[in-house]
Copies of this chain bind each other. A is one copy, B any other.
Amino acid sequence: MFSRLTLHRYKTKLIFHFILTLEKTMEELNKQLDFIIELDKLKGIYRQALVKSDNNRFENSAEHSWHISLTAQILHEYAVEKVNISRVMSMLLIHDIVEIDTGDVFAFSDKDVLAEQENKEADAANRIFGLLPEQQLLNYKQLWFEFESAKTIDARFAKAMDRILPLLQNMRNEGGSWVKHNVNKSQVIKRNEYLEGLAPQLWLYVCEQIDHAVKQGWLSDC
């Protein structure tokens, strides 16, 4: 049997432990809510892509992330190797979050501009994912770096989706952002090359579309 004093000490310890746990959880929840509210800012980051159905206004990176995430889910069975579609979708939902700090840079910008953007994005990933509790911070950062490095099948498929969607949008919008920025055929081919080995049928489709775009004058033939 425990003495009264021991029991009292045990109870006090339990209550203390409970309060500490609750405080820790409240602290974690507050971090998570701050991150969720921070995400709102991605809705104000505009890309060069145009939203045809909304008076051709610029597309923002939040709605773009939604769109490619679903695009990946719909097209993932064209991948010749198995992709983990849940991971790919999570990757695509977070891939542009860094733009909250850096803004978007047009995909066909100069090499120097793109390299500078890459450095800025790594800092942004540290700051923004750093708002989260440790485990989620590590998970999301790992996922974001995996996407950026584009070495795994999941990341390469995610990249391919991020690149095929603007092509689909431009093809249904008389060239869209390609025309505005005088983009050429070889740039679009290079940008979509991830598909070649990953999903040959989609690659074939993309090549046909690029040829058609050149014929229509939406892409320069070089």
Contacts and interface: CB of A to CB of B under 8 A. Distances in A.
Given A54-B43, A63-B63, A66-B66, A36 B93 contact: no
Contact of A74 (B86, B136, B165): B136
Nearest to A37: B172
A56 to B, nearest CB: 11
A59 B65 CA distance: 15
Interface stretch (A4-12, A27-35, A144-152, A186-194): A27-35
A154 B181 CA distance: 44
Interface string A161-172: 000010011001
A31 to B, nearest CB: 10
Copies in the complex: 2
Nearest to A33: B168
A2 interface: no
A48 interface: no
Contacts of A168: 33, 36-37
A5 B62 CA distance: 61
Interface string A62-101: 1101110111011100100000001001100110000000
A198 to B, nearest CB: 15
Contacts of A202: 29
Contact of A63 (B35, B36, B43, B172): B43
A183 B45 CA distance: 30
A70 B43 CA distance: 14
B43 A53 contact: yes
A126 interface: no
Given A32-B75, A62-B63, A75-B32, A70 B39 contact: yes
A71 B36 contact: yes
A25 B201 contact: yes
A215 interface: no
Contacts of A42: 63
Interface of A: 25, 29, 32-33, 35-37, 39-44, 51-55, 59-60, 62-63, 65-67, 69-71, 73-75, 78, 86, 89-90, 93-94, 132, 136, 165, 168-169, 172, 201-202, 205
